[in-house]
Amino acid sequence: QVQLVESGGGLVQAGGSLRLSCVASGRTFSMYAMAWFRQTLGKERELVAAISKGGGSTSYADSVKGRFTISRDNAKNTVYLQMNSLKPEDTAVYYCNPGEYSGRYYSYDYWGQGTQVTVSS
């Protein structure tokens, strides 16, 4: 079992920045690759960014490349998502997720409550 608690969301104007955090507990954090997903009402959950177990490899959705940065601190069991130059289309509930990452990301079915990000135009 893995428990996940996301935080850091909020309301921000277009062009602004937010930093999301996700603290994981229950299993050894460094055993998992981690990812951030986002979901808007009526749409499927979308993979935004992924990071390998040690943090040496990352990947991003084309829509956020150059604006978002995923990172992790295994000593703190925490994964982060730094979001810059935010756009209204980034508005969504953001979730962190543990999985496997070897070129592509495979998620395990563990999810937190998510954190709402709202970007106003």
Cα gap 118→75, rounded to integer Å: 30
Structure confidence at residue 53 (pLDDT): 95
Q: Is the pLDDT of residue 27 over 80?
A: no
pLDDT category of residue 28 using cuts at 50, 70 and 90: confident
Q: For tokens 């070129």, what's the residue?
A: 103
Assess contact for 96 and 108: CB atoms under 8 A. Answer: no
Structure confidence at residue 103 (pLDDT): 78
Cα gap 117→67, rounded to integer Å: 15
How far, rounded to the nearest angstrom, does the alpha carbon of residue 95 sit from its chain's CA centroid? 6
Residues forming beta bridges with residue 72, ordered by sequence position? 79
Tens of pLDDT, residue by residue over 45-73, are 999 999 999 999 999 999 999 999 999 99
Question: Can you tell me the mean pLDDT for 103-112?
Answer: 92
